[in-house]
Amino acid sequence: MRTVKHPLAQFVIRWFVCGLGLWIAAGFVSSIRYDSVSTIVIAGLLLAIINVVIRPILIIFSLPAILLTLGLFMIIINGMTVFLVAWLYRPLHVTSFWAAVFAGMVIGLVNYLVSAILEERK
């Protein structure tokens, strides 16, 4: 398979992965609820935008914590981004921070699996 190089295609894949991860996480955790499929699509879009714009800033500011925990603090950052999306977009209900952290882990796992499928084998 070939690696996707077009920036718009990469963003659409990121959007799909975020939405799919949210949908899977909502299936596992009762603390994450949504009204309709369009809620997941819009929340996935917001999460993809936040991952492009705000997440790098969060990573830079929390670099000491990331280094101290050998990268495990990234799980908390992923949860913070999911929690921020739920705060900005009210139809997505995330009732606890730990549910958001779990959703962040699921999204990371889905992202890893989709990336592994799409990457070129060397």
Where would I find the beta strands (DSSP E) of the chain? 32-34, 92-94
- For 11-39, what is the mean pLDDT? 93
Q: How far apart are CA 30 and CA 21, in angstroms?
A: 15
Q: Evaluate whether 79 touches 100 at the Cβ level (below 8 Å).
A: yes
Instruction: Tell me the pLDDT tens digit for each residue of 97-114.
Output: 999 999 999 999 998 998
Instruction: Tell me the pLDDT tens digit for each residue of 36-88.
Output: 999 999 999 999 999 999 999 999 999 999 999 999 999 999 999 999 999 99
> Hey, is 97 helix, strand or coil?
helix
For the chain, give me the number of helices (H) and strands (E)? 6, 2
Q: Evaluate whether 20 touches 110 at the Cβ level (below 8 Å).
A: yes
Question: What residue spans define the domains of the chain?
Answer: 7-118
Q: How far apart are CA 48 and CA 120, in angstroms?
A: 23
> Confidence band (pLDDT; 50, 70, 90) for 1?
very low
Tokens describing residue 62: 């929390």
Instruction: Residue 79: name the closest of 99, 53, 63, 49 by CA.
Output: 99
Could you tell me where the DSSP H helices lie in the chain? Answer: 7-28, 37-53, 55-61, 63-68, 73-88, 97-118
pTM: 0.87
